[in-house]
Amino acid sequence: MKIECYISERCGSEAALKENIEKALVLEGGHADVDVYRLRDGQAAEKGLRGSPSVFVDGEEVQPADIEGFS
């Protein structure tokens, strides 16, 4: 499994995000390659990201559709 996380430069959720991913993998008995990328707002807009963090599992975004704003 491949997990890609995109986080705003100003977002303070990186440590909690990594911890939650690790807990989920342990609970599910899974393994994943996890990459975390810090982005400026312009970079996030170019990628069409809707929030920070934005998380993709095997290329599919897992963020709720009703959340907007990369900050």
Q: Which of 34, 32, 35, 68 is nearest to 52 (CA)?
A: 68
Number of domains comprising the chain: 1
Would 48 be classed as within a structural domain? Answer: yes
Would 71 be classed as within a structural domain? Answer: no
Rounded (5°) CA angle 70-58-63: 30
pTM exceeds cut of 0.85: no
d(CA 24, CA 8): 23
Would 53 be classed as within a structural domain? Answer: yes
Would 11 be classed as within a structural domain? Answer: yes
The yes-or-no verdict on residue 2 having pLDDT over 70 is: yes
Domain of residue 41, residue span: 2-61
d(CA 69, CA 71): 6
pLDDT digits (tens, 9 = 90+) for 47-71: 888 888 999 999 999 876 666 555 4
Which residues fall within 8 angstroms of residue 11, CB to CB, at 6 or more apart? 52, 53, 71
Would 18 be classed as within a structural domain? Answer: yes
Would 68 be classed as within a structural domain? Answer: no
